């Protein structure tokens, strides 16, 4: 029988692996084979020296690696600007909603500022404007509502603008009353931007998902 299987078993023993034979069989062979016994001693010595040898010095690359890293993650600045813009739009809508409600409340409660309109008409106008204010505040609290609120707000603004301009030219409305409508137009513009940004963000996410799936 050749010594090759026994020398493989010796190597496995040094490495803490399975011998491939019984330990007694290996020991009996080492007791009767001087060549394998000498080979086992040499292998044990080499293994011990390899394990106890000091590791070669390795330069500390920590500073170089950290220095090579970008100051900020790619896209972090753009994401921060997007969050800032979203916050600014929501604050603007909050302010516009509060201002719109402040204009609507006196008309709704006492008829003040209704330009001598009948009481019920004044109340309808106040309720309508208060509803617009509520829409602005709702979008400020939940930007995802912008797309749903835009058809209502946009239609109202699109119809109100030519009517107001015509009444202003004919002298049927005071200039300060017409100027108050700028709150509505500014709010509709802000809601439109919020809806557009939300749609754009969803499109980017959808495209990214498709790329990952592909």
191 lies in the same domain as 99: yes
Does a structural domain hold residue 59?
no
> Using CA atoms, how far apart are residues 141 and 135, in angstroms rounded to an integer?
10
Q: What is the pLDDT of residues 107-166, one digit of tens each?
A: 777 655 555 555 666 777 788 888 899 999 999 999 999 999 999 899 989 988 888 888
82 lies in the same domain as 157: yes
Does a structural domain hold residue 65?
no
195 lies in the same domain as 111: yes
33 lies in the same domain as 90: no
48 lies in the same domain as 84: no
Residue 186 is predicted with a pLDDT of 92
**pLDDT at residue 82 above 90?**
no
**pLDDT at residue 204 above 80?**
no
Residue 117 is predicted with a pLDDT of 55
Does a structural domain hold residue 64?
no
Residue 190 is predicted with a pLDDT of 94
8 lies in the same domain as 87: no
Q: What is the pLDDT of residues 14-25, one digit of tens each?
A: 888 888 888 888
Does a structural domain hold residue 191?
yes
Burial string for 75-107 (b: 16+ CB within 10 Å, else e) reads: eeeeeeeeeeebeebbebbebbbebbbebbbeb
For residue 149, the enclosing domain spans 77-213
Residue 112 is predicted with a pLDDT of 55
Does a structural domain hold residue 142?
yes
46 lies in the same domain as 140: no
127 lies in the same domain as 25: no
Does a structural domain hold residue 177?
yes
Does a structural domain hold residue 82?
yes
Q: What is the pLDDT of residues 84-118, one digit of tens each?
A: 999 999 999 999 999 999 888 777 776 555 555 55
Q: What is the pLDDT of residues 38-79, one digit of tens each?
A: 888 888 888 888 777 676 777 887 877 777 776 656 666 777
The number of domains in the chain is 2
């Amino acid at each position: 029988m050749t010594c090759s299987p026994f020398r493989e078993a010796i190597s496995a023993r040094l490495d803490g692996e399975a011998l491939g034979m019984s330990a007694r069989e290996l020991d009996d062979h080492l007791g009767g084979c001087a060549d394998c016994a000498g080979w086992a001693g040499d292998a044990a010595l080499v293994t011990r020296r390899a394990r106890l040898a000091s590791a070669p010095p390795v330069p500390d690359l920590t500073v170089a690696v950290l220095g090579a890293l970008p100051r900020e993650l790619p896209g972090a600045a753009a994401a921060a600007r997007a969050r800032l813009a979203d916050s600014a739009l929501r604050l603007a809508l909050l302010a516009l909603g509060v201002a719109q409600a402040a204009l609507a409340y006196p008309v709704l409660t006492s008829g003040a500022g209704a330009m001598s309109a009948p009481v019920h008409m004044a109340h309808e106008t106040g309720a309508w404007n208060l509803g617009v204010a509520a829409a602005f505040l709702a979008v400020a609290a939940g930007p995802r509502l912008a797309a749903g609120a835009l058809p209502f707000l946009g239609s109202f603004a699109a119809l109100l603008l030519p009517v107001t301009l015509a009444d202003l030219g004919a002298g049927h409305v005071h200039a300060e009353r017409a100027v108050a409508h700028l709150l509505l137009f500014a709010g509709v513009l802000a809601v439109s931007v919020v809806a557009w940004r939300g749609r754009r963000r969803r499109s980017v996410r959808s495209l990214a998902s498709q790329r990952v799936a592909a």
